[in-house]
Amino acid sequence: MTPQPPLHASRLYDDGGCEIFGDPGLVFPWWSVTKTAIAICAFRLAEQGQLDLDALLPGQPFTLHQLLTHRAGLPDYASLPAYHAAVRADEAPWPRDALVEAALAPGRLFAPGQGWRYSNVGYLLARERIEAVAGQGLGALVHAQIAGPLGLDSVVLAQTRAEFGRVAWPAARRYHPGWVYHGCLIGTAPDAAHMMQALFAGRLLRAETLSRMRETLRLGGALP
């Protein structure tokens, strides 16, 4: 039998206990956990009075909250065969505007608020909105709003192949994180667990804000 790779993970408990599996110092791509960090930053900025989650974005028919909940009606670049081919060919990431133009070419899938469709493009626009409001790039914003207050020293917004070369998975080390257009954080498993535990324990958001972030959407059928 082929030996299984070791498990590197972290488990936190309500009483403050922490169980570590494997090497706690290894760095991993956080992939779409980065979306959770973007959403936390957006909700914290709203709590601080810096933005209105329910206001239409400038020049757009949807709100930041609709972007964060995948309800803006936007398509996703994951549906583009050329995108996947370029990633497999190890090409440099496309310019932002070229990617957005290609992804949005089919037009909106539904009127904002009237459906649900997972969209990385939506989170790219959400990232850009919170960066504009805060006057900070995403890496600095995550540090100010999440990593700094929680002491998550491993968390970095990877932007180059060299930075991604630190991750524990050999197959991912040459990947260009620019292909993740909303951004890709890297960090340790314990720091990822601490961020999520702090979120759900109410240490990052007020109770009413966390309740809104955790709203359940009833979609009425199988996911598209």
Render pLDDT for 88-130 as a digit per residue (tens, 0 to 9). Answer: 999 999 999 999 999 999 999 999 999 999 999 999 999 999 9
Return the biggest CA–CA distance within the chain: 58
**Tens digit of each residue's pLDDT (9 = 90 or more) over 166-193:** 999 998 999 999 999 999 999 999 999 9
| Non-local CB neighbours of 6 within 8 Å, separated by 6+ positions | 22, 23
**pTM of the model as a whole:** 0.93
Separation CA 198–CA 37 (nearest Å): 12
164 versus 14: the higher-pLDDT residue is: 164
Tell me the two tokens of residue 144. 């100010």
> What pLDDT, on a 0 to 100 scale, did the predictor assign at position 18?
82
Both tokens of 76, joined, read 């996703």
Strands (E), the chain: 9-12, 18-21, 27-29, 156-158, 184-188
Q: Tokens 């060299």 label which residue?
A: 162
**Are 64 and 55 a contacting pair, CB within 8 Å?**
yes
How many angstroms separate the CA atoms of 110 and 142, rounded?
31
